Amino acid sequence: MTGPRYTRLAETLPSDVPFVGPEVQERRMGRPFRARLGANESVFGPSPKAIEALHAAAPDVWMYADATSHALKQALAAEMGARPENIVIGGGIDGLLGNLVRLLVEPGDPVVTSKGAYPTFNYHVTGFGGMLHKVPFRDDREDLPALIDRARETRAKLIYLSNPDNPMGSWYAGREIEAALDTLPEGTLLLLDEAYIEFAPEGTAPRIDPDDPRVIRMRTFSKARGMAGLRVGYATGAPALIRAFDKVRDHFGMTRPAQAAALAALQDAGWLAQVQDAVAASRDRIGRIGRAHGLTPLPSATNFVALDCGGDGAHAKAVLDALVARGVFVRMPFEAPQNRCIRVSCGRPADLDVFEEVLPLALADVKAAAAG
């Protein structure tokens, strides 16, 4: 009796996944976290109008969803100053990343990203046999000129850039990205991940013609809109590229309730403004807590703060492990020198009360362990 015959590529891939979720960690510990501050979710939740829309859509889940996401696509086109043919909707940015890589990357094709940038993108590239070329961060920010230079050297099909950036929270002004487009090599597509754009200062989003074939922009309802569990992402690009997604996407991947909730959330500007204010206040408090205990907060245009622990990656990992052991879920960058930091997601006052209580205890645990 034989089992499945995997492809040669699949046989070579690692079996791990980019992230170990908090639920997995809770099961291992046998208890829940006291504060969930690691996944950059919006603990402030979705718009009440989105929740109402979810309830209203629940009785109709016996029907397949509109495979074209017509109403949501129309609303997103208006939001982005685009036409519906510039918009594709899918299962979060992660799902759209997989679709895009499948469309563009064949085994051996060069792709450029930053060393330590969002690992799920790398997961898709390696899953389709692409060759990743990684450029170091520069001053805790993705190095856009160096990314473009590497793409020119390797004749890369695709450059990944997140703006604002995860995991450091750094960002480029929109005008810098606009200028950089004119330096892109012929045949290279810039993938602009704007998952955190709603938290960024005015002027961070570049002004790009939606029909520009040199760039595709991806955004999500998982962060500022508070709907990570519903998996709604969207991309804006030239119509020919957007049409190509129909060749590979899951046409019924967007559920009917998710479409309804996303449309309601998009129309609730008041709730978004409340969340933006709450995130700004939370960022400030995380910074104050960190500074009070010898950690240095990095400037952030996202819903998290990278706290420099003042040592190397091993020291930051010890701080992270001590926080987790005491019930606070946080994460940290994967690559040096950014891994000198821990990354703390914005939380409600009660969440940050727990963080403020636990951080000095965790730091004391690390100090005691180092002393032997």
CATH 3.90.1150.10 for domain 8-45+270-371: yes
Structure token digits, residue 345: 């997601």
% the chain with pLDDT above 70? 100
If you ran DSSP here, which 8-state letter would residue 177 be given? H
Which has the higher per-residue pLDDT, 369 or 344?
A: 344
Per residue in 82-124, pLDDT (tens digit) is 999 999 999 999 999 999 999 999 999 999 999 999 999 999 9
Residue 203 CB partners (closer than 8 Å, separation 6+): 173, 174, 175
pLDDT number for residue 3: 84
Confidence grade of residue 18 (pLDDT, cut at 50, 70, 90): low
Q: The tokens 């495979």 sit on which residue? A: 67
Tell me: pLDDT of 264 over 80. Answer: yes
Q: The tokens 């020919």 sit on which residue? A: 240
Confidence grade of residue 250 (pLDDT, cut at 50, 70, 90): confident
Cis peptide before 349 (omega within 30 of 0): no
Q: Which of 196, 135, 192, 206 is nearest to 166 (CA)?
A: 196
Under CATH, to which class is 63-268 assigned?
alpha beta
Distance CA 270, CA 372 (A): 53
Q: Indicate if 63-268 has the same CATH topology as 8-45+270-371.
A: no
Q: Which of 27, 12, 6, 33 is nearest to 345 (CA)?
A: 33
- One-letter amino acid at 101 equals V
Q: Domains of the chain: which residue ranges?
A: 8-45+270-371, 63-268
% the chain with pLDDT above 90? 90
